[in-house]
């Protein structure tokens, strides 16, 4: 089994509906996103996937979140835009995009600060 990782960043604002505390107020984060993918074998070039291709697919999912108020965007217009839900959203969308049968998303980890992160994997 092979695994590779990329890291990307985005900035956004949100507030947590139904939360009792400071995070119920509008605030922002500079999110760090770690994406791990895996494959049983390598392609004809000796790669799991081209880093550039993986970054492009991740960018297509993350760019619509960048410098936006997440509470206005699906699925966060219904779900709270927690690190947990953001990680699952990116995992799900990237899994749909990487549907070649060989490469699978292993895990998406979203950091809302240097000291706090949440991951989603199946």
Active site residues: 23, 67, 112
User: Which three-class secondary structure state does DSSP give residue 55?
Assistant: helix
Q: Calculate ∠ Cα 102-108-114, nearest 5°.
A: 150
Instruction: Determine how many CB atoms are found less than 10 A away from the CB of residue 32.
Output: 16
**Cα distance between residue 40 and residue 53, in whole Å:** 18
**Cα distance between residue 43 and residue 101, in whole Å:** 12
Q: Which residues fall within 8 angstroms of residue 5, CB to CB, at 6 or more apart?
A: 34, 35, 36, 37
């Amino acid at each position: 089994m092979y695994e590779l990782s990329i890291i990307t960043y985005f900035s956004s604002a949100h507030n947590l509906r139904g939360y009792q505390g400071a995070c119920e107020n509008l605030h922002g984060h500079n999110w760090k996103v770690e994406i791990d993918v895996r494959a049983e074998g390598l392609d004809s070039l000796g790669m799991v996937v081209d880093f550039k291709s993986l970054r492009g697919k991740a960018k297509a999912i993350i760019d619509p979140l960048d410098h936006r108020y997440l509470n206005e965007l699906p699925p966060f217009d219904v779900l709270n835009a927690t690190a947990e839900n953001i990680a699952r959203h990116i995992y799900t969308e990237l899994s749909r995009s990487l549907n070649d049968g060989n490469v699978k998303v292993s895990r998406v980890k979203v950091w809302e600060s240097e000291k706090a992160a949440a991951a989603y994997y199946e």
